[in-house]
């Protein structure tokens, strides 16, 4: 039996002038899956998801999104997608209800009042529906944006760094809502820089400067990195970090609170480098590599195509 895929694309490419910002990316996302996109700023994450929902046209590639050809049938795809942008993009001088009614008009929805009432109730906006959008806190603006994305009952939800600038409780509530939506069959693509959020996704992909470097479950992505990590404690860790970076076996050193995470390839003599560099006052032990260790490793190992063109 063929797997139920909401997204099945290959070779997706986008160029701006002589710069390739998305380079032959292939991706398969199951229906009802929460799929996370990680990568540094400018890596092509947003460009890629905009091509999937028809806001940008790919220069190359083939495949389907929600059963439609993602290039030739982009107009049809748009009607079945909810897209939440990085920046709050609603009218600040309109109320919550007026903003939702405006979105319902754009989608030419029948029974607009009923759809708006349903969205207000579903996202817990009752009691604030008459409040101006510009007066909302970051967390409530986030809820309004999500309500607007869902008002037309989309099959695919694209979320571009949706929790940036909101407090921890609002983030937690947001993710509870996301998992409830996915359990109901909604497919969700989300870009994030938060490692704890990436770990809440069913699968993730790491994109760096247009290239797909890793994808799979969090456990699979960590295994693919082939990275071993030690935690080091003791005096003068900044000086120790500089000394360790001169060792060929050390791929990275990253401060973590009052400790230092030191990583290298699985077959590299990292522990020997620690013995040669650390003082008797330092202690170290090997720990499982975490997603943040892998994220930093991939980011430092990748090449910025913008700098390559301009240097």
Q: How confident is the model at residue 1 (pLDDT cuts 50, 70, 90)?
A: very low
Instruction: Work out the average pLDDT over 110-128.
Output: 90
CB neighbour class for 249 (10 Å; exposed up to 12, middle 13-18, buried from 19): middle
Beta strand 203-208 pairing with 34-38: parallel
First CA to last CA distance, the chain: 51
What does the block give as tokens for 270? 């990292």
Condensed to tens digits (0 to 9), the pLDDT of residues 267-281 reads 999 999 999 999 999
135 lies in the same domain as 37: yes
Number of domains in the chain: 2
Can you give the pTM of this predicted structure?
0.88
Residue 290: the pLDDT is 93
CA distance 130 to 253: 51
Residue 310: the pLDDT is 42
CA distance 211 to 79: 29
Q: How confident is the model at residue 203 (pLDDT cuts 50, 70, 90)?
A: very high
Tokens 């890793």 locate to 214
Residue 303: the pLDDT is 60
CATH number at residue 175: 3.40.50.300
Q: How confident is the model at residue 102 (pLDDT cuts 50, 70, 90)?
A: very high
* Full domain range(s) for residue 183: 31-59+73-221
Q: Let me know: does 154 contact 81? Beta carbons within 8 Å.
A: yes
78 lies in the same domain as 212: yes
Q: Is residue 268 part of a domain?
A: yes
131 lies in the same domain as 158: yes
Last residue of a domain, one of 221, 238, 266: 221
Answer whether residue 90 shows pLDDT above 90: no
251 lies in the same domain as 213: no
210 lies in the same domain as 254: no
CA distance 217 to 204: 6
Condensed to tens digits (0 to 9), the pLDDT of residues 231-267 reads 999 999 999 999 999 999 999 999 999 999 999 999 9
258 lies in the same domain as 179: no
Cβ neighbors of 88 (< 8 A, separation 6 or more) are: 133, 141, 145
Q: How confident is the model at residue 307 (pLDDT cuts 50, 70, 90)?
A: low
Q: Let me know: does 58 contact 28? Beta carbons within 8 Å.
A: no
Percentage of residues in the chain having pLDDT higher than 90: 70
Q: Which residues pair with 285 in a beta bridge?
A: 231
Q: Is residue 98 part of a domain?
A: yes
Per the prediction, the chain carries an average pLDDT of 90
45 lies in the same domain as 170: yes
Condensed to tens digits (0 to 9), the pLDDT of residues 26-76 reads 999 999 999 999 988 888 898 998 898 888 999 999 999 999 999 999 999
Residue 311: the pLDDT is 36
Q: Is residue 156 part of a domain?
A: yes
212 lies in the same domain as 276: no
CATH number at residue 252: 3.30.70.100
Answer whether residue 305 shows pLDDT above 80: no
261 lies in the same domain as 214: no
């Amino acid at each position: 039996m063929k797997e139920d895929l909401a997204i099945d694309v290959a070779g997706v490419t986008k160029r701006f002038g002589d710069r390739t910002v998305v380079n032959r990316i292939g991706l398969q996302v199951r229906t009802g899956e929460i799929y996370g996109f990680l990568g540094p700023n400018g890596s092509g994450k947003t460009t890629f998801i905009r091509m999937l929902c028809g806001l940008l046209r790919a220069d190359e590639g083939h495949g389907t999104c929600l059963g439609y050809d993602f290039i030739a049938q982009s107009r049809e795809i748009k009607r079945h997608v909810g897209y939440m942008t990085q920046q709050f993009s609603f009218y600040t001088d309109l109320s919550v209800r007026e903003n939702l009614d405006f979105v319902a008009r754009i989608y030419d929805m029948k029974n607009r009042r009923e759809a708006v009432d349903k969205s207000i109730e579903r996202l817990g906006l009752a009691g604030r529906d008459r409040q101006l959008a510009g007066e909302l806190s970051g967390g409530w603006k986030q809820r309004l944006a999500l309500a607007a994305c869902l008002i037309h009952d989309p099959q695919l939800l694209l979320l571009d760094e949706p929790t940036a600038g909101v407090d921890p409780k609002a983030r937690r509530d947001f993710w509870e809502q996301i998992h409830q939506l996915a359990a109901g069959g909604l497919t969700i693509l989300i870009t994030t820089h938060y490692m704890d959020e990436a770990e809440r996704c069913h699968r993730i992909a790491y994109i760096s400067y247009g290239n797909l470097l890793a994808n799979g479950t969090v456990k699979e992505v960590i295994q693919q990195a082939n990275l071993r990590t030690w935690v080091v404690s003791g005096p003068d860790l900044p000086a120790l970090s500089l000394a360790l970076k001169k060792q060929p076996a050390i791929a990275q050193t990253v401060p973590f609170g009052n400790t230092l995470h030191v990583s290298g390839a699985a077959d590299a003599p990292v522990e020997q480098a620690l013995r040669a560099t650390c003082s008797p006052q330092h202690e170290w032990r090997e720990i499982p590599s975490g997603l943040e260790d892998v994220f930093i490793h991939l980011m430092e190992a990748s090449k910025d195509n913008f700098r390559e063109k301009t240097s």
